[in-house]
Structure 1
Amino acid sequence: MPDTWDNAPTDMLTFEKQAMLNGYKMIAGIDEAGRGPLAGPVVSAAVVLPDKFDVPGINDSKKLSEKKREALFPVIQKHAVAFGIGLADHEEIDQINILQASLLSMKRAVEDLKLTPDYLLIDGRFTIDSTIEQRSIIKGDTLSLSIAAASILAKVTRDRIMADLDLQYPEYGFKRHKGYPTKAHKEAILTHGPCPIHRRNFKGVKDI
């Protein structure tokens, strides 16, 4: 069952500490970026932090500026025991829906880790298809440090992918809005029609 908190714990390592007290040693936080956009992949990250991890400023990626996320990105990678990235592309999203694609990208992020964790902390309501013990946490990116770190890696990775795709499809402005349904993006779709990386089953794309 996912966890909710009426009063959020002040210590963002609460869930990690609880897992350790239960005997788990290698705990990975997992989060995704890109469920809402009309184009591009959904990207997930898995992060295993060391026992003594003291890097200030880590929080839910949505609460951080792009500059701050970019600054924290290499710091998290440097200090993490391990990190992995997984994605599901626009075609998979259309085939299996965005929720299932998000969970699939999370599974791939775990599989991309250089070591196998024994416990997973997953942002959201759902767990993933894995034999590893796991716990889903609603708003986990604001409650768990390892999930927050994963949210930053996932967001920065996806933003960079969308910036690269902007070079292929400059008329859509992907570098600016990252594929999210902004007014400018919707107008570009109306003007040019969907491009190959648009999610054809999403409202705002399929209507056209």
Structure 2
Amino acid sequence: KTYPRMGSIQGFVTKDKVIDACEKIMLVQRDNGDRKNRKHARLKYTVDDLGNDVFRSKVEDLLGYSFEPERQYYFESNLDQFGWITDETGHHHFTTFVENGRVEDTAELQFKTGFRELATYMKSTGGEFRLTANQHILVSDISDEHLPTVKKIMAKYKLDNTAFSGLRLSSAACVAFPTCGLAMAESERYLPVLITKLEEAIEEY
């Protein structure tokens, strides 16, 4: 049986401990998650099976310290911020729109080739790639010195194109056919077509 549920609060950690805490949460899931039943393999079921208090204690045992009491928080958005931003250290970051998270070369766009050329350049000059939770790619930690060349490579392969509708920028799909054994219909392969049809309908009406 599968079901939706809200997330469970574990507590608070300062930002310098976030990566460590996330790693330990994943380790508890690795060691206690259901590896026999794919439908029951997600983290939320592990939390429910163990109970939130037990799950938290296992994470804290690995951390070597306890979570602080939860603090007030709020979400302003769950969308990616596409385009260039500059952080407080002066480094530059660009979020690239990658439809359905699929990095490939097509007749229209040479994304795979472009990212490979960008990676070759960044390997010797600094910078890195990061994946967003929405399946897009962040070209990150670019210095002022190397920014013009990075921009040139991105423009060459249209990696800097963010001129898409809000509907398309916010869309995402699982793989489904032909590789998912649980799929019952098309998803990733059809979504771009569906988005185009919806965009045309919205424009018309």
Q: What interval of TM-score do these two structures reach, taking the shorter chain for normalisation?
A: under 0.3
* TM-score, reference length from structure 2: 0.23
Q: Which has the higher strand share?
A: 1
